[in-house]
Structures are given as C-alpha cells and as structure tokens.
Amino acid sequence: MSKKEEKKKLNPEEENILDLQQNGQQVKEDGNGQRLLNSLLNEGEDEDQPIKGWKDLTKVLSIDGQWFRRQIWVILIIVLGIIVYITNRYQAQSEIILEENLRDSLKDMKFRSLTRSSELTLKCRQSKLEEQLKANGDSNLAPSTEAPFYIYKNK
C-alpha cells in the first residue's frame, strides 16, 4: 500500500499525528499531545474567540493554582506596599493642605495686627488728641511753647 492508501484508512486525528511526525515534530499520545494537536488544527479559530472569563485568562497565560500558591507572598507584599503608599500619600497631602491653611491664616493675622497698630498710632498722635479735646471742649490744655528738653552739642 502507498502512503495515500494508508491515510484513507486512518481517522483524521491519526492522519494529523502522522503528518506531524513526518514533518519532524514530536506528538505525545497523552492529553497534552492531543491538546497540542487540537491547537494546531484549530490555529486560526483561537484568534477570533475573545477571552470571556478568569478561567480563559489562566488558560491563555497557562497559570494554574500552583503558581498562585507559590507567589502568594509576593502578591501580598505588593498589595501591602500599594496600600502603604496610598495611605502615606493621603496623609502627606492632608498635612500639606493644613500647613497652607495655617500659613494663610498667619498672614491674615499679621496684616490685621499691622492694621490695628497703624490705627492705634494714628489715634494716639498728639495733634489728633488736641483736635478731639478742642472739639469736645473738655480741656484747657494748650501746646507747650518750650521744648521738653535741650540737646547740647559738644564742641
């Protein structure tokens, strides 16, 4: 019998295995070989199918439960680091906002203090006091004609 006649007697799966073996590729007879064979047969069909769930994603990435069990500590450390980073950033931002608010209120108080001080100075001047006393007629005070003290120059 020729090769073509042998192929006619074989079922399609056996034909594909025979073709792969002739091309130099090894095919295992267990479930993995069958999966490899099916994936080679349906090569163009997999690209059109979207990944619908977690199981499909783990199949595509060939991740199983063992991988997660081995990497759980790394995953937990990464998640813990992310949580610490987020809380630290939130706390730092709240402290910066509080500092800016306190700085603004300090400036406001400083300007109020300067305003009150200048108003007090203005109201306490001798000329203003004399004008107020004359306007009210309460006092017989008059400005002094003599200087309160003398300054001597040494020659």
Confidence tier at 51 by pLDDT (50, 70, 90) = low
Q: How large is the average pLDDT for residues 47-64?
A: 67
pLDDT exceeds cutoff 50 at 28: no
Q: How far apart are CA 65 and CA 76, in angstroms?
A: 16
pLDDT, tens digit (0-9, with 9 covering 90-100), for 103-131: 999 999 999 999 999 988 887 887 777 77
Cα dist from 115 to 2, 72, 118, 121, whole Å: 112, 65, 5, 10
Q: How large is the average pLDDT for residues 10-19?
A: 63
pLDDT mean across residues, the chain: 76
Domain residue limits, the chain: 1-49, 65-123
Give rounded-to-5 percent helix, strand, coil for the chain: 70, 0, 30
pLDDT exceeds cutoff 50 at 27: no
pLDDT exceeds cutoff 50 at 82: yes
pLDDT at 151: 77
Instruction: State percent of the chain over pLDDT 90.
Output: 30
